[in-house]
């Protein structure tokens, strides 16, 4: 007998019955990988040119030297000649110097804005995902409508609302709640927090809506059949199942908030509400200490990478638990 023995076992050196079928599949798989590699090349090239190269340039400035005559930074393009004195100075000032208050203020503002986004965004996302019915498309369009308008334009609209003779103060004075106009735009931290929450609220609602929309309605029905009321079903079923969406929404919203500087500049512009993004903008564009600004960029990027690593680890663990 050649090729296959009596018990169906291929003889040494001969191909089995499925070998001819497996070979074309492998070739097709290799062709697909090559095709998708071609499609991915423009995105990879875009990332390298517009992210990796500028980030490397920032690192070269941070670890470079300073011209003694003009005070301008001298980038060190070779990692072998990098100097870490400036970066160490920023780390020392960030952990026990004058930048500590700025970092703490930034974290407090971002945390308060995230809490406000949760209070406003979770009910909206829940209603649109579970209760909106045939009006879901319209409500989603209204939620995404702010993205059709430039962010700076939307923030500048707040100036007309919050200035001393603006509509907010007029309404509060008309109702007798205040006697004199509130200076919302003169270093008021509450204005910065509300403006941050307003600007990034759509980023919070959309991923949370996607998670809530994927919850199997049969789980909620089973909870009610077991005698749990609406509130108990929400706390014990809906909220735990939406934890991944809450984490995704928080990360997607917090990352740009931590580096935001134009919101604070527009609605406050006071040193008392300075965030870390304002310090980076000041050092890089408004002063001679550009190497300090570049080092701050690296410190902030390190913080953001830690948050992203925590998000990816938690998301992977939740996915493994649910699968």
- Cα angle 204-119-192, degrees, rounded to a multiple of 5: 75
Q: Which two tokens stand for residue 3?
A: 């090729």
Q: What mean pLDDT do residues 286-314 have?
A: 83
- Which domains are delineated in the chain? 100-287 (1.10.3720.10)
pLDDT digits (tens, 9 = 90+) for 228-243: 888 888 888 888 889 8
Alpha-carbon gap, residue 199 to 196, rounded angstroms: 5
pLDDT digits (tens, 9 = 90+) for 54-64: 889 888 888 88
Contact 192, 264 (CB under 8 A): yes
Specify the pLDDT at position 43.
85
Q: Of 5-9, 123-127, 244-248, give the lowest mean pLDDT range.
A: 5-9
CA 100 to chain centre: 23
Q: Which two tokens stand for residue 307?
A: 């948050």
Q: Which two tokens stand for residue 166?
A: 């603006």
pLDDT band at 10 (very low <50, low <70, confident <90, very high): low
Q: Of 77-91, 117-131, 179-193, give the lowest mean pLDDT range.
A: 77-91
Give Cβ neighbours of residue 154 (< 8 Å, ≥ 6 apart).
146, 198, 199
Q: Is residue 14 over pLDDT 70? A: no
CA 232 to chain centre: 31
Give the per-residue SS3 of the chain: CCCECCCCCECCCCCCCCHHHHHHHHHHHHHHHHHHHHHHHHHHHHHHHHHHHHHHHHHHHHCCEECCCCCCEECCCCHHHCCCHHHHHHHHHHHHCCCHHHHHHHHHHHHHHHHHHHHHHHHHHHHHHHHCHHHHHHHHHHHHHHHHCCHHHHHHHHHHHHCCCCHHHHHHHHCCCCCCCCCCCCCCHHHHHHHHHHHHHHHHHHHHHHHHHCCCHHHHHHHHHCCCCHHHHHHHHHHHHCHHHHHHHHHHHHHHHHHCCHHHHHHCCCHHHCCHHHHHHHHHHCCCCHHHHHHHHHHHHHHHHHHHHHHHHHHHHHHHHHC
Contact 192, 162 (CB under 8 A): no
pLDDT digits (tens, 9 = 90+) for 250-282: 999 998 999 898 899 989 878 889 999 998 888
Which comes out higher in pLDDT, residue 133 or 71?
133
């Amino acid at each position: 007998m050649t090729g296959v023995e009596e018990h169906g076992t291929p003889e040494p050196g001969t191909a089995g019955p499925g070998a001819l079928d497996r070979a074309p599949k492998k070739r097709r798989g290799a062709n697909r990988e090559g095709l998708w590699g071609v499609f991915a090349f423009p995105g990879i090239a875009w990332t390298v040119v517009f992210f990796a190269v500028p980030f490397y340039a920032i690192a070269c400035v941070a670890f470079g030297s300073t011209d003694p005559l003009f005070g301008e930074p001298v980038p060190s393009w070779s990692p072998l000649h990098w100097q870490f004195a400036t970066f160490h100075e920023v780390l020392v000032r960030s952990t026990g110097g004058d930048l500590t208050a700025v970092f703490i203020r930034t974290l407090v503002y971002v945390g308060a804005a995230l809490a406000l986004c949760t209070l406003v965004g979770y009910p909206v996302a829940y209603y649109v995902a579970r209760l909106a019915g045939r009006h879901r498309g319209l409500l989603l369009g209204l939620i995404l409508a702010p993205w059709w308008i430039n962010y700076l334009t939307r923030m500048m609209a707040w100036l007309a609302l919050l200035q001393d003779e603006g509509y907010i103060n007029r309404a509060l004075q008309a109702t007798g709640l205040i006697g004199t106009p509130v200076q919302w735009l003169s270093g008021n931290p509450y204005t910065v927090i509300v403006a941050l929450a307003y600007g990034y609220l759509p980023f919070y609602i959309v991923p949370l809506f996607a998670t809530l929309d994927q919850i199997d309605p049969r789980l909620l029905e089973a909870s009610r059949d077991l005698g749990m009321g609406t509130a108990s079903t929400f706390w014990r079923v809906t909220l735990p199942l939406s934890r991944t969406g809450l984490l995704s929404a928080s990360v997607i919203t917090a990352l740009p908030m931590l580096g935001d500087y134009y919101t604070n500049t527009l609605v406050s512009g006071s040193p008392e509400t300075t965030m870390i993004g304002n310090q980076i903008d000041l050092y890089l564009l408004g002063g001679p200490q550009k190497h300090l600004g570049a080092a701050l960029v690296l410190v902030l990027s390190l913080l953001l990478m830690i948050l992203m690593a925590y998000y990816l680890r938690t998301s992977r663990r939740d996915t493994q638990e649910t699968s």
